[in-house]
Amino acid sequence: MELRNAHYDLLDTLIQDMEPFDQVIQMLSTPVAPREAIDLLLELEGVGLVSSAVMVDLETWRRPRPDDFERAIAELEGLAERPFQSDLWFRLTEAGQAEWRAKNGERPRSGMWRIAEYEDVLEVNAVSAEVAAGAVASWQERNPETAIEQLNTKTPAPFTLSDGTKVEPGILITFRRRRLQSPLS
């Protein structure tokens, strides 16, 4: 299969880390309907560049079934109740990482960060405090309904990015997050 720009856009969204489907949709540079995004992701999975999983709880994952993909689409199309975060997640495989590097080259310093989201915690690993601040600002723009409060900072905090890039010494900043109340509530 020959990859199209839409495929590469999806690889770009997954280069930072494993992402829930709703975040993948939000991070695309060109808007795509949820069904089209699922179809493209399944094409990438079919050629071994992406893998998918369903989060059962914070420690348990399972392989998705067809109804998991349909439910994720329905949630984003407003046809089903939308949870705080999609339980359908995607990540690049090693082959996907290699494909991304072949197209994009080595990652620039400003792209050396990753964000992990948990129920009430946001963790940001980055090459520097400045890069972490930029990553957090971008995350906050995509998540205006969530307030964050910095809890602590750890350095050195070496880590490996999803494309295999090793970052040392690194910094880890942990934030508490909470959903803001709607003005109509």
Q: Are residues 139 and 67 in the same domain?
A: no
Q: Which residues pair with 122 in a beta bridge?
A: 117, 175
In a domain, 184, yes or no: no
Predicted confidence (pLDDT) per residue in 30-73, tens digit:
889 999 999 999 999 999 999 999 998 878 999 999 999 999 99
pTM of the model: 0.66
Taking the CA atoms of residue 84, residue 85, residue 86 and residue 91 in that order, the dihedral angle to the nearest 10 degrees is: 180
Question: Which CA distances in Å does 29 have to 77, 85, 92?
Answer: 19, 20, 18
Q: Where a domain ends, among 63, 83, 104?
A: 104
pLDDT for res 72? 93
Q: How many domains does the chain have?
A: 2
Q: Are residues 97 and 139 in the same domain?
A: no
CATH number at residue 155: 3.30.1660
Stretches where the chain sits below pLDDT 50 are 185
The boundaries of the domain holding residue 45 are: 5-104
CATH number at residue 48: 1.10.10.10
In terms of residues, how long is the chain?
Answer: 185
Rounded to an integer, what distance in angstroms lies between the CA atom of residue 117 and that of residue 140? 12
Closest CA to 164 of 99, 67, 117: 99
